[in-house]
Amino acid sequence: MELKEKVIEEIKKIYDPEIPVNIYELGLIYDIRIDGKNISVKMTLTTPNCPVAESLPKEVKDSIMQLEEVEKVDLDLVWEPPWDKSMMSEAAKLELNL
């Protein structure tokens, strides 16, 4: 399995505590870049006032760091573009009956 696929699989294990869908399918991950053993992730939250604003990015970073092929993870929490429901995958929309 390619490293990017492994990173995505790790991210899919993390769920938003208020929405029963993983954060990848919710569309909270904007970009994943791989440079050798270094991973860069751009992500957002459903709202800047999200109750897990402190812990969720750390959980993503720690989860990716568990992969033996990874030496470093740079995680950038961004607010542009702002997240909205249109960023969710079809699977997430079905899960939430949207």
- Look at residue 23 and tell me if it is in a domain: yes
| Residue 58 falls inside a structural domain | yes
Report yes or no on 70 lying in a domain. Answer: yes
Provide block-wise average pLDDT over 10 residues at a time, the chain (98 residues): 94 90 96 96 89 88 96 96 93 89
Contact 19, 87 (CB under 8 A): no
pLDDT at 1: 72
The model's pTM is 0.91
Domain carrying residue 13: 3-82
Handedness of CA 69, 38, 48, 30 (dihedral sign): negative
Backbone phi, then psi, for 30, in 5-degree steps?
-85, -35
Q: Report the chain's terminal Cα–Cα distance, integer Å.
A: 32
As given in the structure block, the two tokens for residue 74 are 């740079």
* Residue 96: inside a domain: no
In the numeric block, the tokens 């929405």 are attached to 19
